[in-house]
Amino acid sequence: MTSSSNLIDGRAIAAQVLEELRPRLERLRTRGVQPGLAFVRVGEDPASRVYVGRKEKTAAELGIRSHTHVLPEATPESELLALLDRLNRDDSWHGILVQAPLPRHIRAERIYAAIRPDKDVDGFHPVNMGRLLLGDPGGFVPCTPAGIQELLVRAGISWEGAHVVILGRGNIVGKPLAALLCQKAPRANATVTLCHSATRNLAEHCRRADILVAAMGVPEFVRADMVRPGAVVVDVGVNRVADPARPGGTRLVGDVAFAEVQPLAGRITPNPGGVGPMTIAMLMHNTVRAAETLTA
Ligand code: NAP
């Protein structure tokens, strides 16, 4: 297939999700509530700067108030914890997001556990992770897995009974996505295989997938011979690779060798323009929900 007819348009679907938030924002506004989303970025990781910038921009477009606290790379863990404590107690902030990755001297699990679960719009607090595993809809689901679920549902693809193979068991994408999709619940009910670096015969698992999700951070790992013709392919990876032909000497590629996989996939997410915009849309969705709940 050389046309773009099998593409799943993440930008368009994310725009729909954001549009649907507007009436909810309007209802909050009539009650005098403007949702507030506080970002915390530690250090100057270039990708983190871009990601937080995009999230701030989308928040502004929706009328969600945001502010980014930028802390130097060498910030002690105790200082970051003190900032989170202040944000936890400040009623004008309904959502708090600490952008990953954090510097090595900061224990990410301590940081995520220090955010109030009802302001944890990124969904990484152990309470929210636990709720996700238990199938309790009262928690916040991490934005990328939630976005992948929403993306395929809105693209008309059913997870129900499908064999989903996820490549990567990271805490941000693979593991919570597996927990989400294996639930006995509408929009889930999938049979999930979770692969990682110790998986034997990984390509064979991939070829048995109805839906293949690549979330490893390995450039163009998924090749055509790993995909069953007609399978749905979701490319989550964002990898910067050298490319002397480009002005900056680099370019971004996904975890899927798109040019060779697209022709045989049933449906496929472009990258960029697939999962990324959905991650941001689900963050806004979680923030509006947090504001509604905290001010009810
Ligand atoms: P992570 O925590 O580093 O996890 C990577 C996973 O991939 C690990 O489970 C690792 O296995 C596995 N893996 C790595 N190399 C492998 C190989 N050769 N064979 C089999 N498994 C392998 O990464 P993450 O935070 O989940 O992120 C994954 C990717 O998604 C990254 O490219 C990231 O930039 C991207 N991402 C995109 C978005 C978005 O909105 N588009 C959001 C978040 C992340 P082990 O566990 O055995 O080490």
DSSP 33-52: ---EEEEEEES--HHHHHHH
**Is residue 220 domain-shared with residue 112, that is, in the same domain?**
no
Ligand 1, atom 1: closest residue by C-alpha? 170
Percent of the chain having pLDDT more than 90? 99
Residues 115 and 153: their CA atoms lie apart, in Å, by: 30
Residues 69 and 225: their CA atoms lie apart, in Å, by: 45
Mean pLDDT value of segment 209-233: 98
Residue 69: pLDDT band by 50, 70, 90 thresholds? very high
Q: Is 99 a catalytic residue?
A: yes
E strand map for 91-210? 95-98, 163-167, 191-195
Ligand 1, atom 40: closest residue by C-alpha? 276
Ligand 1, atom 4: closest residue by C-alpha? 170
Domain span holding position 222: 143-276
Ligand 1, atom 3: closest residue by C-alpha? 170
**Is residue 161 domain-shared with residue 223, that is, in the same domain?**
yes
**Is residue 174 domain-shared with residue 261, that is, in the same domain?**
yes
Q: What pLDDT does residue 178 have?
A: 98
Q: Is 32 left (phi over 0), alpha (psi -120 to 50) or beta?
A: left
Question: Strands 250-253, 239-242: parallel, antiparallel or unpaired by DSSP?
Answer: antiparallel
**Is residue 147 domain-shared with residue 104, that is, in the same domain?**
no
Report which ligand 1 atom has the smallest distance to the Cα of 47.
Answer: 34
**Is residue 229 domain-shared with residue 104, that is, in the same domain?**
no
pLDDT over 90 (residue 2): no
Q: Is 55 a catalytic residue?
A: yes
**Is residue 48 domain-shared with residue 155, that is, in the same domain?**
no
Q: Is 156 left (phi over 0), alpha (psi -120 to 50) or beta?
A: left
Distance of CA 196 from the midpoint of ligand 1 (Å) = 9
pLDDT digits (tens, 9 = 90+) for 113-172: 999 999 999 999 999 999 999 999 999 999 999 999 999 999 999 999 999 999 999 999
Distance of CA 16 from the midpoint of ligand 1 (Å) = 28
Residue 4: pLDDT band by 50, 70, 90 thresholds? confident
**Is residue 103 domain-shared with residue 185, that is, in the same domain?**
no
Single pTM value for the model: 0.97
* Residue among 197, 212, 253, 286 whose CB has most ligand 1 atoms within 8 A, to mutate: 197
**Is residue 79 domain-shared with residue 158, that is, in the same domain?**
no
* Residue among 236, 255, 278, 283 whose CB has most ligand 1 atoms within 8 A, to mutate: 236
pLDDT over 50 (residue 1): no
